[in-house]
Amino acid sequence: MKNLTARLLLGITAIPLLLLILFIPGDQYHLGLNILVVAAGFLGSREIARLLNCRGLGLNVNLCGFLGALPPAAALAALVFPGRVSPEALLLGAAVAVLLPLGLPAPGKSLESGVLRFAGSLAVLIYPGLFLSRIVALSGLTPSVPFILLFLALVFGNDSFAYFAGAALGKSNRGLFRVSPNKSWAGLIGGLAAAAAFALAFSLLFPELSGGVFTGPEGAAFLRRLCGLGEGGFRLRTGGGPGALIFLALITALAAVGGDLLESALKRGAGIKDSGRLLPGRGGVMDSLDSLLFSAPFYYYLIRFFYF
């Protein structure tokens, strides 16, 4: 019951806040949303560093926070200053200036300790850093709002309905994944079904997602204009129809499950229950964003393939 209350409170507060930030007038690059993503990179990387330190890696937590924030910050800079800032150059500079010295053994320490610190610091640069940068990259799509909204709906819909389906129908079929014993077949199927349903619901407002043309009522047209869509909208490039949309939804949902399992494995390996204590009832940043950030690259590159 306590976990359910925490989930409901987070949904009641976080979802309206995200929508409010997303629809700030004139915010072409969704700066408010993306600054939150950069902050999540900093805080989430610190949490991952603490988990790895439980295995004796001896990482500098604040330095790891900087490394995790760098990829989404570089992606945001490339959006705001197109053609002037290279994310690849920023990341390469960070690797040379920060990561390589970490490979040197500290005074009185073995070469192995330096290698472990280098590997751990590189890990947080990639996860959550590079994974979060793909959320920022969604703001560079034209139009961006429909695809950001669909992404949030697929991940949060999968997570929420998997929880409720598992709680209602999963008591006799748990143990699907050893690293997370409470996960059940009922929860997995319920989450995937919810993701597919959300995708089809979005296709009613944005029929271009499945290869159609918008002919809806004026109220829906107003929502489309709010999302930055003109009369032409956008077009499904590959001709995949509804099947492409369902495929996109299922892959995104499965990747979200994978992110949750990866975080569970890291916490189990460290021997702790939550990655942090920032969010009452929910744990740390990574406890709430694991599904979101792990599915972001899969979603982003599938969107690029199907629509751009």
Q: How confident is the model at residue 40 (pLDDT cuts 50, 70, 90)?
A: very high
29 is in which domain, residue-wise? 25-140
74 and 103 in a single domain? The answer is: yes
* 10 within domain boundaries: no
164 shares a domain with 48: no
Least confident of 40-49, 192-201, 234-243, 261-270: 234-243
Rounded Cα gap, residues 260 and 286, in angstroms: 9
Q: Which amino acid is at 202?
A: F
- Last residue in a domain, options 118, 140, 162: 140
- The single residue listed with the structure tokens 């499950």 is 257
Q: Is residue 7 part of a domain?
A: no
| 206 and 242 Cβ atoms separated by less than 8 Å | no
Mean pLDDT of 99-105: 60
**pLDDT, mean of residues 166-181:** 81
Alpha carbon distance 7, 63 (integer Å): 31
Based on the fold, state whether residues 131 and 147 are members of the same structural domain.
no
Tell me the per-residue pLDDT of 116-152, one tens digit each, with 9 for 90 and over: 888 888 888 889 999 999 999 999 988 899 999 999 9
- Where residue 155 falls among pLDDT bands split at 50, 70, 90? very high
Q: For 76-101, what is each residue's pLDDT tens digit?
A: 988 888 877 676 677 667 666 666 66
Instruction: Report d(CA 147, CA 299) in Å as an integer.
Output: 9
Q: Is residue 1's pLDDT more than 70?
A: no
pLDDT tens column, 58-80: 888 888 898 899 899 989 988 88
Split at pLDDT 50, 70, 90, the class of 11 is low
Q: How many domains does the chain have?
A: 2
Mean pLDDT, all residues of the chain: 83
Of the pLDDT bands very low, low, confident and very high (cuts 50, 70, 90), residue 278 is low
DSSP state letters, the chain: -HHHHHHHHHHHHHHHHHHHHHT-TT-TT-HHHHHHHHHHHHHHHHHHHHHHHTTT----HHHHHHHHHHHHHHHHHHHHSTTT--HHHHHHHHIIIIIHHHTSPPTT--HHHHHHHHHHHHHHIIIIIIHHHHHHHGGGSSS-HHHHHHHHHHHHHHHHHHHHHHHHH-TTSB-SBTTBTT-BHHHHHHHHHHHHHHHHHHHHH-GGGGT------HHHHHHHHHTT--SS----SS--HHHHHHHHHHHHHHHHHHHHHHHHHHHHHHT-S-S-SSBTTTBSHHHHHHHHHHHHHHHHHHHHHHH-
One domain, residues 170 and 288 = yes
Token representation of residue 145: 């709002």
Domain boundary among 140, 173, 195: 140
**Chosen domain end from 78, 111, 140:** 140
Q: Which residues contact 280 (CB under 8 A, 6 or more apart)?
A: 6
- Same domain as 288, residue 150: yes
pTM score of the predicted model: 0.89
* Domain assignment of residue 205, yes or no: yes
Look up tokens 């995104």; give the residue: 252
Please check whether residues 44 and 95 belong to one and the same domain.
yes
Assess whether pLDDT exceeds 80 at residue 231.
no
Higher pLDDT, residue 206 or 114: 206
Dist CA 244 CA 248 (whole Å) = 6
Whether the predicted pLDDT of 295 surpasses 80: yes
> Within a domain: residue 17?
no
For the chain, give the number of residues: 308
How many C-beta atoms surround the C-beta of residue 142 within 10 A? 9
